[in-house]
Amino acid sequence: MSEERHIPGPPSELADTLNHWRELFQHEHAHDFKALKVLTSLEQAIFSFYVDYADIDKDDLLSLRFNEYPEETVERANEVLRSMSSEYTDVRCVLRPLNFPDEKIKKISDLRMRNRGELVSLIVRIHEVGPRVGYLRKALYTCIACGHREEVSQRVARERKRPRGPCTICLEDAERALGEQVSYSLYKRLESLMQLTAEGSFYQDIQYLNVHDVESKDGQPIQVLVDDEYVDGYKTGEVVRVNGVVYIDPIPDRNFVKDTRRILQVRALSIEQVS
């Protein structure tokens, strides 16, 4: 029996998602790519791709993935945008989905822990604007022995993740030289060779907005996490519509490993002005 043929590339489900995003951008946003041709990162660091929710919803695969796994699906869209825009400009492009349907509109007072991971649209008044900070979005680890590199995605307000295991190249070399699996102690030594590299890691600007329902100033507020071009873009008292994903976050100033209590947040995917 012949061995199963291995076809290099991403898994089929991931590849399908990437291809569907590419088709959407090609058909609906050719004008945006044309605008990118005259931009450089010195003039504009970030270019927002405003995509109508209805255009996403027309594609069965994207609609399913976007509603079930919004953050992961948006990240796939941004991967496609980076790839497609690289031939025109060095400006970083980000997806900003707009015009969520009314069924997504929620009140802050209605949100519960069971809404974690859901897409929501909140019409809110900004009560307080926090300081701008940065966080390590993607950590680049480099093997100090052979130079092999590996990127590890990170999350806000979480312990920094390391690569899962040692440098694969050094591990394979060690097992080849020994003719057997390495010992636990050697495995841990090889694991320690992977060191964080500041140059090449990606830090993202973020900011917290404390907001409350526009119709209720006395209700419990919620934090909205904004990033990139939205940082320092809003003032206290403004009324905005936040389209985003419900998050669960540790209580501020507590050790999230030992303290099991959590609070709700919303990570903004897009923000629209309310007239």
Q: What is the mean pLDDT of residues 82-99?
A: 91
Please give the pLDDT value at position 108.
92
Domain chopping of the chain, boundaries: 12-98, 102-133+206-273, 135-202
AA identity, residue 141 = Y
Q: Write down the residue that tokens 């329902």 correspond to.
A: 213
Q: Is 198 exposed, middle or buried (0-12, 13-18, 19+ CB in 10 A)?
A: exposed
Please give the pLDDT value at position 7.
41
The domain defined by 102-133+206-273 folds into OB fold (Dihydrolipoamide Acetyltransferase, E2P) (2.40.50)
The domain defined by 12-98 folds into mini-chromosome maintenance (MCM) complex, chain A, domain 1 (3.30.1640)
Our measurement of the distance from residue 109's CA atom to the centroid of its chain's CA atoms, rounded to an integer in Å, reads 26
What does each C-alpha distance from 107 to 90, 211, 221 come to in angstroms?
39, 11, 11
Q: What is the mean pLDDT of residues 142-168?
A: 88
Please give the pLDDT value at position 252.
65
* pLDDT above 70 for 254: no
- Using pLDDT thresholds of 50, 70 and 90, give the confidence band for residue 20: very high
pTM passes above 0.85? no
CA 126, 132, 137: angle at the middle one, nearest 5?
Answer: 115
Please give the pLDDT value at position 8.
46
Q: What is the mean pLDDT of residues 61-85?
A: 93
